[in-house]
Amino acid sequence: MKKSSLYNPKLTIKDFAELVSSQSISCEELTEITLDRIRKLNPKLNGFITILEDSAKHDAKDADASIRRGKYKGPLHGVPISLKDLIYVKGVKSTSGSKILADFVPDYDSTVVRKLKEAGAIIVGMNNTHEFACGITNINPHYGPSRNPWDDSRMSGGSSGGSAVAVSAGMSLASIGTDTSGSIRVPSSLCGVFGLKPTYGRVSKYGVMPLAPSIDHIGPICRSPWDIAAVMQHIAGYDSHDPNSANAPVPNYIDEVEKTQGKFRLGIPKQFFFDIIDPKVKHTFDSFVERAESCQISSTHVDVDQTDKIYETWRAIRLGESATTHNEWLRTRHDDYGKDVAKMLDDGLKITAVHYISAHKWRQEIRGAILRAMKPYDALLVPTTPIAAPLLDQSTVHLDGKDIEVYPVLSRLTTVFDVTGLPALNIPAGLVDNRLPVGVQLVGRPFDEARLIQIAERYEQQYHVSEEMVPALNVTA
């Protein structure tokens, strides 16, 4: 039997972990199957900037040897995982999707990578990203756009677009992305996969190219809630190298995800989240709510205050901090930025100190309002994106009788959970027009990611989302 025929894109980390631990498949076989899929699909989908064939094969061989010695490390042992191309791996080019860092090679591993390696994961490559993670479309002028596996004429979303493409298309079993404005959840929504933005400080940012440090988050993109739990089990936790790392207890996510007994109650905000939304996406959201009821996940509507401050709060912090991060290069290498990123960074230079300081006050007010609304519930539930994936050349979308730019539409419903630092998990909700995925977000209390994963797992057990949300891709043997 050909190795490529062993691969089933519906299989998850949990499925492969059982095969690897029982030695029904070797780490070398699994890695070769994955690399073969990358070779065949990446030329079209452009989910990777760098593919690490030699090191992946070497690490897979070592992983097999460790298993033969009786030293199986857990569910990530031998599992092919990719990384957004701004997460540092020692000796591996890390471009941040930019011209400026096109030849940058870090001399140390990020904390996330160190932990993944300790868990036995195999790093197969670096995923395409919107330049410097400073955008939501993943249309990159230097490395080309990552393309949606469900329709390669459409956007993947970003800025962790290559990561979502890789997982959706089966080019890696998981990817680590970053999220400052929705950059994990937006592409997860548009590509039909699960994506978690953990609580701010839950996962170390040490060794990751910053954008807006007070709202940057690191998190996993996977095919299933169980897989999210398995990755979080290894990457979460306090890190003294990261001054923003939270010294908070880390649960056993794998144990917690399997505790899905009882009922869950969700609150659906009345304000803001449905003001601008494609009717077809709203219909998909409503259908998700109805289906969730059948697996003891009930929902009621709830008032949320302070939503009028969301955009200006995010804008001041995101633009102001990113301009500060890039200030030196803006002066010395301005022409090396793509036009959209240069404009956004230039806009950040115009943020006043009064606006920036006020925004930090507003973010606490918004956070308090969301937590008050959440008090009677296990989590809040909102759409992830107001639209399905736009065409690659589409700059505006027609909603509510007017044309609106794609960027503010795609990020409209995600930025608030970056500025508040609350955990948010994208769940694939269904297909618009039976062909384009969109997702819903579960939003939780600080450091309560396990509860979100439990709720998602309950839904997964009933509806087998990881098996159903698989794009039809022509992969020849």
**Residue 46: DSSP 8-state:** -
Q: Which of 14, 84, 115, 309 is catalytic?
A: 84
- 84 tagged catalytic: yes
Residue 159, preceding peptide bond in cis (omega within 30° of 0): yes
Q: Which of 94, 146, 159, 224 is catalytic?
A: 159
Give the C-alpha distances (Å, rounded to integers) separating 161 from 2, 42, 293: 31, 13, 31
- 73 tagged catalytic: no
Q: Which of 183, 189, 245, 299 is catalytic?
A: 183
Per DSSP bridges, beta strands 217-222 and 174-179 are: antiparallel
- Please check whether residue 274 is in contact with residue 379, taking contact to mean a CB–CB distance below 8 angstroms: no
What lies within 8 Å, CB to CB, of 30 at 6+ separation is 16, 19, 20, 60, 78, 79, 80
Please report which residue ranges of 243-352 form alpha helices under DSSP H: 253-257, 279-293, 310-325, 327-332, 339-348
Give the C-alpha distances (Å, rounded to integers) separating 112 from 60, 118, 225: 19, 10, 19
- 99 tagged catalytic: no
Q: What's the CA gap between 101 and 95, in Å, rounded?
A: 5
- Please check whether residue 118 is in contact with residue 110, taking contact to mean a CB–CB distance below 8 angstroms: no
- Please check whether residue 270 is in contact with residue 236, taking contact to mean a CB–CB distance below 8 angstroms: no
Q: Which residues pair with 197 in a beta bridge?
A: 424
Host H or E run for residue 431: strand 424-432
Q: What's the CA gap between 8 and 82, in Å, rounded?
A: 18
Exposure of 198 by Cβ count < 10 A (0-12 exposed, 13-18 middle, 19+ buried)?
A: buried
Give the C-alpha distances (Å, rounded to integers) separating 312 from 26, 205, 341, 361: 51, 25, 19, 12
Catalytic site residues?
A: 84, 159, 183
